[in-house]
Amino acid sequence: MERLCIYPKDIQIVTGKSERYGRYLICLIRKKFAKEPHELVSVEEFCLYTGLNEAKVMKSIRA
């Protein structure tokens, strides 16, 4: 089963940046997609925002 949401640790793995940067990026994505603070950010939204390939992101966070 595939995960639908992405977490700061996943963003750290994908980008090579810090976990703090992952939290910051999730905040930016929430603002872009007009999400409430309690709503999760999906892998699809992360990929749309960053321009990364969704299949490659899913592969890297599964490994």
Helix (H) or strand (E) run with residue 1 in it = none
Q: What φ, ψ does residue 33 adopt, rounded to 5°?
A: -100, 15
Q: Please state the domain extents for the chain.
A: 8-62
The rounded radius of gyration (Å) of the Cα atoms in the chain is 11
Single pTM value for the model: 0.92
Neighbours of 55 (CB within 10 A): 9
Q: Percentage of the chain with pLDDT > 70?
A: 98
35 pLDDT higher than 90: yes
For residue 12, give both structure tokens.
């750290």
- 8 A C-beta contact, residue 26 and residue 8: yes
Residue pLDDT, tens place only, 3-31: 899 999 999 999 999 999 999 999 999 99
